[in-house]
Structures are given as structure tokens and as C-alpha cells.
Amino acid sequence: MRQISADLTTVQALRSPKAAITITVANRGLAPPIGSLAWTVYRTPGAKPVLARGGAFFASDNTLLILQGDNNSLTYHHFTDPTYAPQWNTINWTEAVAEDANSIHAINHATNKIRVYFTNSATGNVRRFDITNTAGSISIGGVSTTYSLTAAADMIYTRHPSGSHNLFPFDIRAYSDYVGGVWSAYLHGNKYADNWRAAGIISDPDDLDNIYLLVFRAADHGPSRFRIVKWNGSSFSDPHDIDQSQGGLFGLSLYGLKLFTRTARDNNYFGLALETAYMGGVYEGLTALWQQDSEFVMDEPLIPFPDQNHYNDQIYNALTYNPADQNWYYHGQGFAYRGQPQTATGDTLTPSHYIYDNHHITITLPASTPAIQIGQILTVKRTLSWGAATGNEDLAFYVTSVHAGKRHTIIDAVDAVGYLGISRQHRPFVANDGSVAGLSTLMRRLCARCGLDLAIDDSGLDTAAVIPMTIQPSESLLGAAYRARNQANAWLVPANNGTFALTLINPGTSDSGDYDDSAHTYPDGQWTLIDAAAITDLPALGFAYVLGTYSTDPEDGSYVAMAAGPSTPNARPIPYSVTNTRYNSDTRVANAADTEADRQKKLNIDALIEAPANLALEIYDIVQITDSDRGWSAQPFRVRNIIETWDHGRLTQTLHLGTES
């Protein structure tokens, strides 16, 4: 149950508190952070990219500097307003350094200074210089050698979020070197391993004693792998292969990867990836890395640009981010794209009607409502008040459909559970190869695939049993989550703090206390039930029948387990049958049967009530109902579904209830 204020608890007990609903809209592109940007072509792609690009913003005036290495000259162009598309039509290159570069990385080093790192194509050394913007006047500093190498590439530099770090007080540097036909990944001159290449750096402001290097396996040296390793100042440790759908297991190979920067949300990184396949071309696309607590997920390219095919394994193009307006610029030789979060209305909206049912909400607004975009996040604030006492609770939704008519604007949206339901896995990927320690990790991995945060409310789920599983193309991530919990009792619910996020709960066992099965009383206070009904329904699943194998050795034969679900008098029970070769031990088969039977007990609808809104109520909570007409005296039920209706000043809830289980 939600923890609500004392005032709201008091107001809800009154006969007719005043209800009000307001809606605010968050910028799209913020939650989920990537995937809902609006991309605009600023320059049409031309030839294959063969010239290295880089770029960074001057924080002093939000102007953009881009760089290019070409014909023994590293040149730059300064945009006074990169959001103005015509400025991209005419680019006048000015020489900064009389050296050619095959890899460039620029970072904002100070308010009016950009530091440029590049690899000299002739010597292979890592070089650097500064570019200063003084009231629009550009000046170039001297060039110095940072590292003397053979053939450096994959330049990645960053500034620590806190401005300094115990290990590295200045810029944090990662790169690859190519010596004798072998790639090697480096962090600050420290070699990680041969046949691995640098892909990114993670510097955590809460961890000033370690730096995390992201690397990927060089092509033609085994199946693709993307990995994070920890550097403590003296050695690398704790290598962890990051989940990614390429994986080299389904015909696709990760050919190149460069993560440029984190977004406004600290748990998201954005970059470019190259993919190929046997006898196939090499293609580039924008990609993202999600961080979910200690779990990382690498997505396939979110926005592929098939005309940006490459002839080798180098990423020459640049991806530049402006934190001031959260715009992205993907640019290279002869092309440019702008990714822009669409502006949300600052108005507070007042709906005349909504129905929130089964993780989906339909909202009716005036026809004059300002434009709302698919992908924006709505916060629905529900307020109850009486006199000076008042309280409110928020719900968060992701917009999936907008009907802007002459009479009304109708919005369809989903909560975080519903968003997981409409999110599809684009490609097959191994969610658990057998190494996942518990259900929490696997569920975080699934939720992170679409950028959702997941809180765990029962620490016991950290070690709850899971089986190896592969997610299929076009499979709903919510469906995959149902399969993931086939060995343990757990349920996904929207976060109860008003954010667009999820919580994994085990009703009755709750670390926070929010889901400890404390009962709501109905009725509670001056009001009475609007309606109440007892329900008997024939088509109810009655037991679980699960068939698997006794062990991983097929010669040991099959194994069957059954577990009883709910029963209906005078009715033959309906079995739920599952056959799965992943259930390859007697323990897994028995766990699956018990878990499925428990789920069945939470599916039946045995009662229905309609009552004034209780803003502390959540799905799977326990309610105790007293209704003399049905002979109920503090009769316990578990909430299966809540249908919340707002209709011209009246806020009510219809509860679908099951016998407590």
C-alpha cells in the first residue's frame, strides 16, 4: 500500500471530499531517456565515411565546434547556432593543426575551452591541443604528445562528473592500439588485454577509487563480447560481460563500438555501433547502454542509418551532445542529423474524464489542449481535500496515442507495467545463460532493455531460482518477465512514488513495508460502498501440470509435477499444462508447478466492489470488506485489478477481488 499523508488519510474517511485531477507533461526523451527523440536530417548522407570526425560544445555560449581530419590537416568549423539547419549546408573548414588524424575525441574542458585528442595517422601517437572561444573568437593552443604509440584508435576521453577523481585528477582516457595485426585496449597507458578494443569509460561520482573501462572483443577473435572491467589504479579486475543482443550467437557480429557520453540520466550512455555478418556489409547505427544498479544492458542500434555503411572496422563519425538543451548531433563526412527532445507543454491540464484499467489509461481533455507527443510522460495528480486538509498522490504514464479532435483531445497511455508490455525484443538474445544468480538480476536485465528502472522490494528475490532463457524476436518484455519468474513468486507493479518505474514485489514479504499485506478496511469512515457483488465464475484454472526432464541427461527420462490451484464447487478443474525442456531437473519442474499454481490462485475474481477512491490502495493489496447483504464481516480479499474512474468531479474505484492467497 502507498504510504499517504495523515491529512489525506483523514480526508479519505469523509463522506464527500472534494476531488481534483491535474496533469503535467514531461519532455519526451527523458523517461525513457533514449528512443523517443525526434530526428531530423540536416544534411543528406553522401559517400562512405573515411574522414575522422569529432565535436564538442562550448558551455559559455552553447555553440558547437566540429573537427575533421583530412589530407594531413586537422580542421574545424564553428557553428554559432547548430539548431539552425541552413548553417549545416555551408561548412568552411579552418586548419587547426597541420597533422592528419584517423581518430578524434573532443571534450568540454572548461566553460570556454574544448580539449581535442587525436591520433596522428603518420606516427600513431596520441596528441592533444586546446581550442578557446573568447566572445566568439577562436584561438588554437599548442600541440603536445600524450602517448607515444604505434597505431592508436578508438579515442575516448571524459571528464569525471565530480570534476576530479582520486585516481585521475584530470581527463580520463581510453583508447586502442594496433600493433602487429593485434588490437589491444588501454586505460591511461595501462593495457587491459590483446584482442580487445576500448569502447567507453564509466566514472561514478559515488566511487572515486575506481574507473570502469568498457571494451569489446576485436572482430575475428571469437564471438562478439561487450565487457566492463574495473581499474583500481594498479590492476584490472571483476570482468563482467554485458548483455547485448548481438552476442555473436545469432549470426550478427559487433564490429565496432564507441560510447561517447552519458545523458541527463546518469544510468544511460549513448554511442555508435558497427554491425556485420558473415559475407555481409558493415553498417552503423546509434546505440545505447542502460545501467540498472550493477546490471548493464547494451541495446542493438536504436536508429540504424543503412546508408552509413563502412568499409572497415573504424568509427569515423561523431555523436555530439549538448546538455544545455539535450540535443544530439550525429555527423560525419557529408551528412548531419539532429536528435531533439520535443518540447512539452508547460500548461497544467484538467481532464473531464479518464478510465485507468489494467495498466492502461484513456484521458479526455478539451479540444484546445496544447500538442502532446507520443513518448512523453504524463503525471496525473489526484487530489482530495476538505477545508484546510488536503493530500495528493501521483501516477505516471507513457503516451501511446493522441486523438486531437474538434470536440475533445483523447490520450491513450500506459503505466510502467503496460510499457513493458508494449516493448518488444527486436532480436533474439540470451537473457540468462545459466550464470544469473537470482531473479532480481534477470528482471533488472529485462526492464533495462527498454530503459525502465526496477526496484526490488524483497531482498530474497536476489537469490530466487531462475532458469536459462532466451528472449525471442518480437516477444513482449512483459511476457518474458512472466516466464522469468516461473521458479519463484514475484509480481511487477508500477512504482508507488509517482515516477515512471517498476517495483518487483512478493506480497506479504516486503523490505519497505509497503507490501506487507497490511489490510485496507472497506468501508472506512463516513462513506458507504457504492456497489458490492460476489462472483462465481466457471472458467477458472484449477491446477498446474508441468512436464520437464529429471536431469540434464535425457536418458534419465521425463519428470512430471502437479500443484493444486483454486477450485470451484460442482465444476471440473481446468488444467494449465506446460512442457519445457529448460525445466531440466526435478527441482525446476516442481518449482514451476508450485509457482504456476500460486499464480492461478491470484487470477480468480471472486468479488467486486465500487467505492470512493482510496489513494493508498495498490494492486495485490489486501482489503477487508464488511457488507451485511453478502454476509461479509471484515472478509479478506486480495486486489486483482483496480479500475479508477474520474468523471466530471467524481473519483471512484472499482476493485476486482480474489479470495486471499
The count of other CB atoms within 10 Å of the CB of residue 143 is 17
Residues contacting 482, CB < 8 A, separation 6+: none
Q: Facing residues of 581 across strands?
A: none
Bond from prior residue into 523 cis (ω within 30 degrees of 0) = yes
Which of 423, 427, 421, 453 shows the shortest CA–CA distance to 243?
A: 427
Instruction: Compute the distance between CA of residue 212 and CA of residue 299 in angstroms, rounded to an integer.
Output: 19
Residue of 313, 309, 280 lying closest to 183 (CA atoms): 313
Q: What is the DSSP string of 178-193?
A: EETTEEEEEETTEEEE
Per-10-residue mean pLDDT of the chain, 661 residues long, equals: 90 89 78 60 68 84 89 89 91 90 83 88 85 91 81 71 59 82 88 91 75 84 80 88 55 71 61 73 75 63 57 78 85 85 87 97 96 90 92 94 96 96 81 85 83 89 86 87 86 93 92 92 90 81 69 75 74 70 77 78 86 94 93 94 95 91 66
Are the beta carbons of 539 and 572 closer than 8 angstroms?
no
- How far is Cα 459 from Cα 440, in angstroms, rounded to an integer? 8
**How far is the C-alpha of 367 from the C-alpha of 411, rounded, in Å?**
11
Q: Which pLDDT belongs to residue 217?
A: 87
Do the Cβ atoms of 45 and 317 come closer than 8 Å? Answer: no
Taking residue 437's Cβ as centre, other Cβ atoms within 10 Å add up to 12
Closest alpha carbon to 413 in 28, 89, 43, 84: 28
CA distance 591 to 598: 11
Is the bond into 468 cis (omega within 30 degrees of 0)? Answer: no
- Interatomic CA distance for residues 249 and 100, integer angstroms: 38
Distance CA 580, CA 264 (A): 42
Virtual CA dihedral for 439, 441, 446, 452, nearest 10 degrees?
120
- Given this model, what pLDDT does residue 66 score? 93
pLDDT, position 35: 46
The answer to whether residues 300 and 427 touch, using CB atoms and an 8 Å cutoff, is yes
| Interatomic CA distance for residues 105 and 260, integer angstroms | 9
Taking alpha carbons only, the member of 30, 20, 648 closest to residue 399 is 30
User: With left for phi above 0 and alpha for psi between -120 and 50, is residue 154 left, alpha or beta?
Assistant: left
